[in-house]
Amino acid sequence: MFHPDYEIVIGLEVHCELKTKSKIYCGCTTEFGGEPNTHCCPICTGMPGTLPVINEKVVEYAIRAGLATDCQIAAFSKQDRKNYFYPDLPKAYQISQYDLPICYEGKVDIEVNGENKTIRLTRIHIEEDAGKLLHEAGEGTLADYNRCGVPLIEIVSEPDMRSQEEARAFLEKLRSILMFVDVSDCKMNEGSLRCDVNLSVRKKGQKEYGVRAEIKNMNSFSFAVKAMEYEAKRQIKVLEEGGKIIQETRRWDQDKGVTVSMRSKEEAHDYRYFPDPDLMPIVTSKERVDQIKASLPELPDSRKVRYMEQYGLSSYDATMFLISPRMANFFEVAAENSANPKTVANWIMGEIFRLLNEEEKEAAVIPFEPEMLSKLVNLIEKGAISNSVGKKVFEEMWNTGTDPEKIVEEKGYKQVSDEGQLTQIAEQVLANNPKIVEDYRSGKEKAFQSLVGQMMKATKGQANPKVVTDLLVKILSE
Amino acid sequence: MKISREQIEHVANLARLNLTEEEKQRFTTDMEAIITFADQLNELDIKEIEPTAHVIPIQNVFRKDEAKPSFDRDALLANAPSKADGCFSVPKVVE
Ligand SMILES: [Zn+2]
């Protein structure tokens, strides 16, 4: 789709809000929303004379995220002030980490089109979120500092991705990991996961990287993918026309479908970092790291392998269930309680995913318990109901949350396998359809299927298809 | 160490300071004197000395993750030069 002579180079900076109860340096709540400036205190609004103290959970969560992505954990880490003037930051600096981040040198494995690839992580550091600016039609800009001081980790990748598909796979994988290790809700619509994209292009075979543009603050994976596609095409076009790429910050305009240059930030990049004198260094012992490592749950990569080996799932299906811990849990419980986990997987992939949008899939908004799906599959497996009746039962489970066994019982859905009972019905059906019977006798194979269909209709889909087939063959050959 | 006029202008701009011509002159000389003074540190042998991240030898000062009541909003906004709709109001910024 792009120019065949060019290669795209992508690196990502992912900001992830941690799910602590209180902010990073004060006791204000991290709860989303709230009336403007009601989740604030003198510390998070940067009043003079206040003393920030770091939340211990922030350090623990950052280390969890680091261990889950194969990072080294810094024995000695410190916090620095990043200075710039922008009213979303009441102190005129953001507390972040400069040269000694809490985690460094990690990796995330991704799979794109059946191929595996490792994306290296440069670092993960701790920082505080900024406030929200409300750009009203009036004269001023209004500042709401409720988000100010909400803890973040910034995960920085190496420029290892070569397509927007790889970038998307990386983002999805990272998100899944962060959710499984329970350090963040990763709610895109609340901005708790967002990324900056660094993208450049170069001629294939060229060693040096091209000049890159940074696309800021993408809070949707699909917008990020669109922005990357557009930006790569734009840069290639500029170069092909003999122009030069300028290193700059751009933003994605979703309505117009283009990236737009933001005011030149050359000077703003002079952040004059220095160690924050109010905050003491963070020293992490090997024992502490081991302790946190031991508390990690099974990670998505290992689960995926297990789903494939234990339940016979395809790589694709396994990945789909790892969209969130809730979804994975639903699948696992349903699979464990059923006679056929593969069939359970098919029901989820087919019926359940058809009825849910992305957000609902992730939250596993399913109106019945996983054990009920196991029961439904078991009813079909042991021949108590047919597959087509199974669909009806499923529909009712979905609409009312009723136990499938109860639905089958109450609606009299039990599959009819009794030969005597079916023989009576078959004789009736044959008597009512002399033309079809004649067609069949004169060699029209299709006529037979039509008779089976009539049988199913006469039994409201409850006849056992295998028994019906055998029975019809027998009667018709008499 | 020589400090250029451009450096003074750059630093002033980063700090959002508007300097007069006379101030730019004066700060160039002052800054040069300060940097030259600090340059004496370069004469020391620091091979054996660990980089100092903090002057006070204390580490791992943590807070428990407990949400506490926030501040009264009116009190918080009391000293704001300009406010509206429960927010701090600042001169319009455009991205
Ligand atoms: Zn606060």
Nearest residue in A to B88, CA atom: A143
Query: Ligand 1 centre from A42 Cα, in Å?
Result: 6
Number of C-beta neighbours around residue A16 at 10 A: 25
Residue A419 pLDDT: 81
Residues whose CB is less than 8 angstroms from the CB of residue A265 and which lie 6 or more positions away in sequence, other chains included: A248, A249
Cα–Cα distance between A180 and A185 in angstroms, integer?
Answer: 10
Q: How far is the CA of A88 from the centre of ligand 1 (A)?
A: 15
Q: Is B45 strand, coil or helix?
A: coil
Distance between CA atoms of residues A322 and A90, nearest Å: 39
Q: Provide the β-strand partners of residue A193.
A: A16
pLDDT at A126 over 90: yes
State in Å: Cα A38 to ligand 1 middle.
9
Q: Is the pLDDT of residue A14 over 90?
A: yes
The CA-CA-CA angle for residues A288, A292, A294, to 5°, reads 115
Distance from CA of B57 to the nearest CA of A (A): 9
| Contact in structure between A18 and A184 (CB atoms under 8 Å) | yes
Asked whether A259 and A231 are in contact (CB, 8 A), the reply is: yes
The pLDDT value recorded for residue A3 is 83
Residue-wise pLDDT for A175-233, tens only, equals 999 999 999 999 888 889 999 999 999 999 999 999 999 999 898 999 999 999 999 99
A24-68 tens-digit pLDDT: 999 999 999 999 999 999 999 999 999 999 999 999 999 999 999
pTM over 0.95: no
Strand order in the sheet with A274-275: A93-96, A80-83, A274-275
pLDDT score for A317: 92
Q: What's the pLDDT at A414?
A: 79
In this structure, which residues have their CB less than 5 angstroms from ion ligand 1?
A 26, 28, 41, 43-44
Residues of B in contact with A27 (CB under 8 A): 63, 66-69
Contact A142 B89 (CB under 8 A): yes
Q: Do B86 and A38 touch (CB under 8 A)?
A: yes
CATH homologous superfamily for the domain B5-42: Glu-tRNAGln amidotransferase C subunit, N-terminal domain (1.10.20.60)
Beta bridge partners of A28: none
- Place B95 in a pLDDT band, splitting at 50, 70 and 90: low
Convert the pLDDT of each residue in B28-41 to its tens digit.
Answer: 999 999 999 999 99
Q: Give the closest of A39, A275, A281 to B70, CB-based.
A: A39
Predicted complex ipTM: 0.90
Averaged pLDDT, A241-270? 83
**Which two tokens mark A356?**
């849910």
Q: Which of A83, A86, A267 sits opposite B13 (nearest CB)?
A: A267
How high is the mean pLDDT of chain A? Answer: 92
Please identify which residue in the block is written with the tokens 């499938």. Answer: A404
What's the pLDDT at A161?
97
pLDDT at site A263: 65
d(CA A359, CA A210): 37
B89 touches chain A (CB under 8 A): yes
End-to-end Cα spacing for chain A: 64
For residue A183, what are the CA distances in angstroms to A31, A144, A189, A353, A469? 15, 25, 17, 26, 56
The predicted-structure confidence for A265-320, as pLDDT tens digits, reads as follows: 455 568 899 999 999 999 999 999 999 999 999 999 999 999 999 999 999 999 99
| A138 contacts in chain B (CB < 8 Å) | 84
Domain ranges of chain B: 5-42
Question: Is residue A405 predicted with pLDDT exceeding 80?
Answer: yes
Could you give the domains of chain A? 6-291 (no CATH), 298-411 (no CATH), 419-477 (1.10.10.410)
Q: For residues A332 and A327, give the distance between their C-alpha atoms in angstroms, rounded to a whole number.
A: 9
- Rounded CA separation A353/A366 (Å): 10
A45:B76 CB<8 A: yes
